[in-house]
Amino acid sequence: MAHNDVYQKCKQLDEVIVSRKDDKRWSLEFPIEILRLCGGLGVDSGSSASKFVYIESCDADLVANAPSGTKCKLHMKSFPNHEISEGSDSIKRQLHIIRHDSSQKIDLMSSGVGGHTFHAKLNEVFNVNMVNVSEFDSAPSGFFFLAKYHSPRALLYPFIEGAIEVPIQKVLEYGQVCHQAYLSKLTNSPIVGIEKAGKIPKWPTQFVDKNIDDSKTLTDSDLFPCILVTLGSGNAYYHIDEDGKYRMADMSPRGGRFFMSLASYMLGTDDFNEVINLAEQGDNANVDIFSEDIVDESADDYYSLGSRIELLCMSMGKVIFKNNDEIKREDLARSLVLAVIMDMVHHVQMLAVQLKVKHVFFSGSFMNRFLVRYLTTVEMARRNANFTLMNNLESDLRYYFMKHGPYLTAFGCLAAKIQLTKKALEESNSRKTE
């Protein structure tokens, strides 16, 4: 339950850690020699919001004159798309665009499904020529760009260690109950798959809050190859190698836009934060069907399995039996959040096995709310423990949450501009030497 003691303790600890470490969360430092090539602005215009990563005008002198090795900040801001005019005007007042040739408009990169929609507006406001790049390229390249220059501590949320014990213990208890039931009643059943309930090892906690070497970047921390999950309006899964090469591994139509469309219809709101706030107060057991809801003590051999262990069997399965005035918005919101998370985790588990990957990074605007990270942690722990129990194999799949996940695509736009600038400089130098 969102309001139980474990959740509240985890949330309070997370708030303390995040507030202590992330007072500058929405800016990151990079080598000045790299930023001189980026143009100064990258834009991700998604279907719901636009994200900007940029150099501030107060650093113009630093960009122009500082020696190599000096660090300069990139700043991050986002605005709902219906506020794009006000948002871009606000960015303009703070922005430093690096123009190597003042006689021509500079090409800058934008991405996202709304990129073409807002090109004219952005071109006018910033006096540039926006060039659209595919978000299927910019998201993974933005992730690797961050990973190349920053440590795990700078990029990742703290692991929610307190969330993993209960789901692991429940899976272990379920295995023991299954074993007892099979031995006593179901020994002739063709579905018997558990001969004995084995021990589940303690979940490997993330190293980000332990004794880590901040001099190492994410790319130097043995976390590749990996799966990158982006959960914003859409939901995509990328396989990324240690050299930065990537490919699309899978997609799901059940992302943030799917979530908010259902929320708008069922809950009467199109405000994402309101839906999550409702879900924090909800109890999905009031609308979801669990194993204990579908067993009969007098006639069902599976009663000993279902009555003692909470297993979610049917999302929103009870709604069909209730009048509208019996259904709370908070409970529906909680069930809806959990349904999207379970679908995402299911994709991750299958891909990790197929691709033989041991590390997963979750990113996107969805992940910036603690409830989503908490429920994802619980579900990942439960499924990993269940995989260990059912297959007699130890799952070594570890997972991490990106702090700057909503801005990966915008960072990818900067990375694309850097590559184009490097190529142009190399061609120019080559012509000079001919």
The dihedral through the CA atoms of 126, 135, 253, 364 has a sign that is negative
pLDDT in tens, 343-362: 999 999 999 989 999 999 99
pLDDT, tens digit (0-9, with 9 covering 90-100), for 224-234: 999 999 998 88
Residue 196 pLDDT grade (very low, low, confident, very high; cuts 50, 70, 90)? very low
How far is the CA of 283 from the CAs of 263, 307, 334, in angstroms? 16, 19, 6
As a whole number of angstroms, the distance between CA 362 and CA 377 comes to 11
Fold held by 23-152+408-433: Nucleotidyltransferase; domain 5 (3.30.420)
Q: Tell me if the bond preceding 225 is cis, omega within 30° of 0.
A: yes
Let me know if the fold of 23-152+408-433 is the same as that of 158-402. Answer: yes
Question: Which residues, 6 or more positions from 202, have their beta carbon under 8 angstroms from its beta carbon?
Answer: 168
Q: Classify the C-alpha dihedral 279-280-285-289 as positive or negative.
A: positive
Sequence spans of domains, the chain: 23-152+408-433, 158-402
Question: Pairing between strand 235-240 and 246-252?
Answer: antiparallel
**DSSP characters over 269-285:** ---HHHHHHHHHH--GG
Both tokens assigned to 182: 């099979």
Beta carbons of 286 and 269 less than 8 angstroms apart: no
How far is Cα of residue 432 from the mean position of the Cα atoms in its chain?
46
Q: Comparing 57-71, 128-142, 160-174, 248-262, which segment has the lowest mean pLDDT? A: 160-174
Candidates 38, 42, 31; CA nearest to 98 is 38
Give the pTM: 0.87
Q: 378-424: per-residue pLDDT in tens? A: 888 888 877 777 666 667 788 999 999 999 999 999 999 999 999 98
pLDDT at position 291 is: 75
Residue 322, Cβ density class (10 Å: 0-12 exposed, 13-18 middle, ≥19 buried)? exposed
Residue that is written with structure tokens 């000045």 in the block: 32
Cα end-to-end span (Å), the chain: 70
In sequence order, the 6+-apart residues with CB closer than 8 A to the CB of 365 are: 49, 231, 232, 256, 272, 405, 406
pLDDT at position 208 over 90? no
Q: 342, 403, 334: which is closest to 369 by C-alpha?
A: 403
Q: Which two tokens stand for residue 288?
A: 């979801």
Is the CB of residue 279 less than 8 Å from the CB of residue 258? no
Cα 138 from Cα 140, distance rounded (Å): 6
The domain 158-402 is placed in CATH, from the list 3.40.920.10, 3.30.420.40, 1.10.240.10, 3.40.50.1820, at: 3.30.420.40
- Of residues 250 and 291, more confidently modeled: 250
Least confident interval from 47-56, 74-83, 283-292, 409-418: 283-292
Cβ atoms within 10 Å of 10's Cβ, excluding its own: 20
Closest CA to 304 of 389, 187, 179, 169: 179
Adjacent-strand bridge partners of 110:
43, 132
Asked whether 336 and 258 are in contact (CB, 8 A), the reply is no
Helix 115-126 to helix 84-94 angle (10° resolution) is 40
* Helix or strand (DSSP H, E) at 249: strand 246-252
Residues 412 and 429: their CA atoms lie apart, in Å, by 26
- Share the mean pLDDT of the chain: 83
One-letter amino acid at 229 equals V
Query: What pLDDT score was predicted for residue 18?
Result: 59
Using the predicted structure, report yes or no on whether residue 199 has a pLDDT greater than 80: no
Note the pLDDT of residue 175.
Answer: 64
Question: Which two three-digit tokens encode residue 54?
Answer: 């940029």
Q: Of 159, 163, 175, which is closest to residue 386 (Cα–Cα)?
A: 175
The set of residues, in sequence order, having a beta carbon less than 8 Å from that of 98 and lying 6+ positions away, is 35, 36, 38, 39, 40, 55, 63, 106
User: Is residue 172 within 8 Å of 386, Cβ to Cβ?
Assistant: no
What amino acid occupies position 393?
L
